[in-house]
Structures are given as structure tokens and as C-alpha cells.
A and B are shown apart, each in its own frame.
Chain A
């Protein structure tokens, strides 16, 4: 692996770590989901989740910090499932995070535009 490849890999790893929480909260923004379903939905976003297991400790932490809450629901096709949903606090935090992300994204787009001139 070349030096520039290592740099890129490290950078994307750091970026992914920071974005995963935002992505998990956003998947729950549309309604309650169980863990496996969250993982599947995140899997649709290209190279966001390399190790699917990383999602579960984040869910546990978000629940400990009261951004999400969990409940058990019976399933028609198997054992009962553990669902997660946003709490009012989590919804507010998600709004702030999305705003911050949009502002960052906008600022970066502006920088790229200036460079292109």
C-alpha cells in the first residue's frame, strides 16, 4: 500500500466513525427499527459500514445516553425482536447534528467552488 493510500484509508476510517452515529440516528428518524434492520439499511450506503457489528455498541451507547429507547415486540416470523426508536432528546440531537452536517457540507462545497474558479 502506498503512503497516499494509507492516508486515504485512515481518513475514510475516521470519517466513517464520525458519520455512523449520524447515519444510525437518521435511519431511526423515519420510525422504530430493530438492530438487524438498521444494519441492512446502513449496508445500502456504500462503504459506510465495514464491520456490521460496530452498529450494536453504538446503539447501546445511544440508548445509555437516552437518545434512543428500546422495546421488545413479538414477530410473526420468528422470536421477539428488540426495536429501537428516537426519544424526544434524540430527535432534537439529530436535528442539531443534521444542521451541523449541512453547514459543514455547504462550507466544503463553497471551498471547492472557489478552488474551481
Chain B
């Protein structure tokens, strides 16, 4: 047993703790066995040195042993530890990516109590990772699994909101004020339903035609905002929306006027 000074003893205990933490969860390696070997290594390396051993002399041996965090090849370390290391000490793009996914998961867990608000910071972090990788001329690679969920979810919500919310609001208003106030009066229940659906479809179709124009004008910022998911968007997609609007409005017109 080596006689350490209090400082050296503390430093050695810290080193062993780092080693235990870095080896924890590794199936192929037994941390107790490694620790026993490391203690034996230090004792033999310092055998014959004047007691008590101070931190300087201990540091020389520990430096030769190297940082325990680098002892295992990356593929042998548990997945959760690799993830933790990337969050704690990895490059900022990995840290941001994990933070973004963490916020996304927290959002899902706290959804009933307003967790949806966390989507905004998760989206901002994801966009920061995308911008960082673009700036470095890299591809997202495996980071896409961490980064894309908040961007995709935000895109789906924005699109659903833009396409359907005005139609929903118009439908609610229509059922509230009643068709009679619009000068349309049908006693037959089937005709009332047909008329309601027809007016709603015409309004939705008209809204989509307007929206496609706005979309075509704001194509560039929209594409940049939700990149890389929307990177492939072209003006042709706005035309598709216009056509969809014309078709839906046409169906509505048929329902209202053709009978």
C-alpha cells in the first residue's frame, strides 16, 4: 500500500472515479478488474519512491496511463455513454442535436400540460445544427435522426394550420350563423348538408388558391426556414396547391349549384 499525501490521495481517488464512470455499462470489460490492475500498476510504478508520494510524482504515472475516457474504442462503449459524452464534451453540433432531441422528448412527455411550447426551442436548436453543418460544408449524417424530428413536426403543424385552420374557422362560423342568414334555405336535411359542404369546399379552395400565391412569393424564406426538409421545394409545388384549390372549389361549386 502506497503512502500518498492528502492531495495525491484525492487526485488518485478522482482518477479512479473517472475510470469507473468511463467503464460503467461496458459488457465486455469488468471495471473492478481494470481498477485492480490500475492500482497495482501505480503501486509498482511508484515502488521505491520516497514516501509520502506527492501529486507531482503521481501525475507522471497517471499521465502515462492516459485519460480513462480514451481507453475504450468508441464502438465498445455503451450507446448511452457515447451520447452523454457527445452532449457533455462533444462538438457543439452534436451537443445542440442532443439538446434538441431532449427538448422534443420533454415536449411529448409534458404535452398535456402545455409541453407543445417546447417545440419552438427544439426547432431553433435543430436549425442551428443544420446551419452549422452547412457552414462547415458537411452533411448531417447520423445527426439527422436527432435534428429532423422537431423540424418535421414544426413543418407539419405550420402546413396543417395554414391549409386547414381558416377552412375550419369558416366552417364553424357557417354552422354558427346558419345558412339561412346567407339567404340559402333548405328544409331537407340532406340538402342542408350538401350546401354546407359545398360552401365550405368553395371557401377552402379559394383560400388554397390565395395561399399558393403567398407560398410562391415566400418560397425562398419558407425553404430556408424548414431546411433541409423543404430543400427540394419548387414553384411547381405552388402550382400543385393552386390546382388542388381549383379542384376543391370546383367540387364545392358543383355541390352548391348543380342540384
Contact = CB atoms under 8 A, between A and B. Distances in A.
Interface of A: 17, 34-36, 39, 50-54, 56-57, 59-61, 63-65, 70, 77-79, 81-82
B21 interface: no
Contacts of A56: 33-34, 37-38, 41, 71
A64 B31 CA distance: 12
Q: By DSSP majority rule, is chain A's interface helix, strand, loop, or mixed? A: helix
B71 A82 contact: no
Interface residues of B, number: 28
B71 A53 contact: yes
Contacts of B40: 34-36, 79, 81-82
Contacts of B43: 78-79
Contacts of A53: 19, 38, 65-66, 68, 71
A35 to B, nearest CB: 4
Contact of A51 (B45, B70, B76): B70
B168 to A, nearest CB: 56
| Chain A to chain B: the 3 pairs with minimum beta-carbon distance, closest first | A51-B66, A53-B65, A35-B37
A103 B41 CA distance: 35
Interface in B13-63: 19, 23, 26, 28-30, 33-34, 36-38, 40-41, 43-45, 47
